[in-house]
Amino acid sequence: MPPLKPYEKDRNLLSPNRNIAPITATVNEQGKLCIGGCLLSDLAKRYGTPLYILDEESIRTSCAAYRESLDKFYEGSSLAIYASKANSSIAISSIIKSEGLGLDAVSTGELITAMQGGIDGHSLFLHGNNKSQEELLIAYNNQATIVIDNEQDINILEAIVPKDDKKAKLMLRLTPGIECHTHEYIRTGHLDSKFGFDPDKIEEVFYRLKDCKWASLEGLHAHIGSQIFELQPHQDLAEVLVESMLLAKRIGHEIKDLNVGGGLGIKYTLSDDPPTIQDWIKVVAQAISKACQDRGLGLPRLICEPGRSLIGSAGLTIYKVGSRKIIPGIRTYLSIDGGMSDNPRPITYQSEYSACLVDKPLEPPEENVTLAGKHCESGDILFKDLAIPHSNFGDVLAVFGTGAYNSSMGSNYNRIPRPAMILVRDGGSDLIQRREQPEELLRYDVLPEHLRALM
């Protein structure tokens, strides 16, 4: 790989998803990489590795880009809500709250994390294709909007919502039948999907909900995928959503909200070319506006759900270089002190990233290495051909674009503790998730008495 050059960012400053590194990335006078005014090699010494690092300014800039673009390009009311499955923590939820965004959750854990971070129930949305009674009750009791995904959601709510009490606020998720050029595992908009009601079921569901005195159907939702670089599919989505809105109106539902989901991609490698947040919002806003105008409908509140595009480029992970194995004429394996437990996306999705040695970010490459994780798995490979300057044992290496779906999808494979996560800003750093300790991995183990007796 050529030198990363994450610092050539003037044209992308207001849309962090267009940068490989966080927008605060700089090289100091000694030629060493800094993020948020913090020297990465110093952070490795202070907090240890592997270490997740989030740049607060990049997160806030992305929030502002969504919020301000909606205000600029959409004449109706609007709300951006953070898809917290990308990276969920109390600290992140607090930032989201302070930036005026809402949040969507898909589990009890994400719900209570959001609320602990200050997210109000009126700005909270519950998703999921198999919601438990507990999850639905928490959402209902906190006046969150429940995105119904199937008949089971309706059946459970019908049984648990108290009669003659406040109504459950509902948003109906539909499967729009729109394909995007993305990984098959993250295509959620086509008809063969586990998510949402199929189009031929929508009318039936509208009629059923019309007779439910406990429910208030306030919105429609659709999502067409993730890591999307195309804009045309979102124009198509607007037509589907607004047509469904018109059908709901004919049946007697006043739809206030249209949620177009998220899915905007980020720049993981030099060849990636995602649209800016501003361009994405402009296309979505104009498409919804035109579709409503064509059908004589007033503008609903426009909701979008950025996850990866809001936080992905704000994050990076730093590792220490470990063992080296040279197979002459074939490859050189360079191992790091983390891998698939802190970043499962390469082995799961064959995802690609960018990386550099933090104290040699601009030096020309001298070797091609296969960057291997430390797990007992042959597929635990983060890079197959990574061109970097020569490295030594203990050098610190940064992998960019890990703010989304790394910590949240991580595991304790091989009983390896999860990394710490820190937030950097203005030369300071704060711990927002502490590093797990090996003995903590035993906290849920139970040794039956008959086995204890054999010890």
Residues 215-244 pLDDT 10s: 999 999 998 877 888 888 888 889 999 999
What is the number of alpha carbons within 13 Å of residue 264 lying toward its C-beta?
31
Domain co-membership, 239 together with 323: no
Domain co-membership, 393 together with 290: no
Within a domain: 107 = no
Within a domain: 118 = no
pLDDT for 192:
66
Question: In total, how many domains does the chain have?
Answer: 2
pLDDT band (50, 70, 90) for residue 350: very high
Whether 356 sits among the annotated catalytic residues: the reply is no
Domain co-membership, 297 together with 343: no
pLDDT band (50, 70, 90) for residue 455: confident
Distance CA 381, CA 347 (A): 7
Q: How many other C-beta atoms are found inside a 10 Å radius of the C-beta of residue 284?
A: 25
Domain co-membership, 342 together with 380: yes
pLDDT surpasses 50 at 308: yes
pLDDT tens by residue, 383-396:
999 999 999 999 99
Cα–Cα distances in angstroms (integers) from residue 230 to residues 53, 63, 276, 402, in the given order: 29, 21, 11, 22
pLDDT tens by residue, 372-424:
999 999 999 999 999 999 999 999 999 999 999 999 999 999 999 999 999 99
pLDDT for 148:
96
Domain co-membership, 139 together with 249: yes
Domain co-membership, 159 together with 208: yes
Which of the two residues, 3 and 154, has the higher pLDDT score? 154
Within a domain: 87 = no
Domain co-membership, 207 together with 347: no
Within a domain: 63 = no
Domain final position from 257, 288, 306: 306
Q: Show the tokens assigned to 396.
A: 């610190």
Distance CA 167, CA 17 (A): 38
**What b/e string do you get for 298-309 counting C-beta neighbours within 10 Å, with b at 16 or more?**
ebbbbbbbbbbb
Within a domain: 34 = yes
pLDDT tens by residue, 22-62:
999 999 999 999 999 999 999 999 999 999 999 999 999 99
Taking the model in full, what pTM does it have?
Answer: 0.93
Domain final position from 280, 306, 332: 306
pLDDT tens by residue, 190-200:
566 788 898 88
Which residue in the list 180, 212, 292, 376 is annotated as catalytic?
Answer: 376
pLDDT surpasses 90 at 5: no
Within a domain: 247 = yes
Question: 367 is in which domain, residue-wise?
Answer: 10-55+314-442
pLDDT tens by residue, 261-302:
998 999 999 999 999 999 999 999 999 999 999 999 999 999
Domain final position from 274, 306, 338: 306
CATH assignment at residue 181: 3.20.20.10
Q: Which of 94, 68, 75 is nearest to 14 (CA)?
A: 68
Domain co-membership, 189 together with 166: yes
CATH assignment at residue 438: 2.40.37.10
Within a domain: 50 = yes
Arithmetic mean of pLDDT, 311-326: 97
